[in-house]
Structure 1
Amino acid sequence: MGRHSQVRRRRSPSVVLTAVGVPAAVLLAAGADAQRPVVPDRAEPVVAEAPPCCMELVAAAPAGFASTGGAPGTRVEWVASSRASVRELRALPAGVAPERGLQVKTILVARAVSAIFPEIHSIGGMRPDALRWHPEGLAIDVMIPNPGSAEGIALGNQIVAFALKNAERFGLQDCIWRGVYYTPGGARGGGYGHYDHVHITTTGGGYPTGGEVYYR
């Protein structure tokens, strides 16, 4: 089972985000065109063939943004490289991961995985461990149904590919799956365990303040 045990907890309620140290709210957001990746069901290191899900930090008006009307935060327009882009923002609900003790980027990736992969029914979060990642809210364990089956392996591969494709937006540090250690810079195999779940570590981004909302 690797070095992590399965953690089952009830869903946590959604929370809302306010920036600290800036006059405007900061939203953790993802594009509505998010899609799950398609990768071969193979046990060797997977390739990040997932399309980007457009997770990004978005600042609300007046910090370079202008509301286009409607409910606050539901439609935001911004200009980048002399081009305007408009996106509909939809809040990501709390997923299956227990969010207590998780940092904001870890919550973001956990909610994104729950939204894109509804067949995932259990994600472990903060817990005591000899290493710092889980105790400090930097890591989750995405439990894979029937992990030794062809379908389970393919699902784990898709989740790794999804995380790698969105590494910058998620603040991804690494993933571990079926003995392979993945980072945005490459992968190496051998002796890493994690055959029943995908371990995902982020850079954290700080603990929630009670004012977060995670947008898709």
Structure 2
Amino acid sequence: MRVATARAERAMESHRAGVGALCLALMMMSEHSVAQSQLSQTEVYQAQSRLFESNFLTRIPDGRIGQRTLDALRAWQRQTKRPQTGELTKKEFDQLMRFDPGKHAWEAISGSIDGTWIAVWGHSSGVDAAKKALAGCQKKSSRPDDCSYVSNSVDRSGPGWSAAVFCEQRGLFRRKGQMFLHNGLSRKAAIDQAFAAASTAKFRSSQCTLVKALDGNGRQ
């Protein structure tokens, strides 16, 4: 009887611990949701734009908070020596809007799996450069939904380069093409990383061609 009672007590304690952990997790999720909901979609877009222009975010702003945005926010918090909460609260938004990303000369390359590519440079806004390159690719390509892009800038920390490498495998009954876009701190680094990505995707170097490499000032 005592053994059965002890087992029942342990089971009850385990159940209480599980319920407590669940409640704590729900409270943390609720607090996180409340913190994020302090901002409007327009403010989220503005925050993403500032992160993009500061070279922390690599995707065009869309006004929705996702993992890429939170990772970019943590990177900004780390650089500015702020607590790395990864939460886009109203307080963090205000601090981010005060952050000066400095002057940039932006470039962007957009390419699709059919080999289409568009390059732009000399833009003061990274968002504008990326949008223009992407729109150009989508207009020109036979596979507009497969257009992707990469962008970088020349800023106070030095030059940033982008490179595009197109690879193609041809068989008797099918043709496979893929565009590899990569950033780098130098022309060589950007090109090497693009070719490395192609190699990882099982393309031979003989099947790949450098399409474009440039920095924000248009140097190639």
Whether these two folds match at TM > 0.5 is no
Please give the TM-score of this superposition, normalised by the length of structure 1: 0.27
Could you say which structure has the higher helix fraction? 2
Question: Which of 1 and 2 has greater Rg?
Answer: 2
Q: Which structure's relative contact order is higher, taking Cα pairs within 8 Å and 6+ residues apart?
A: 1
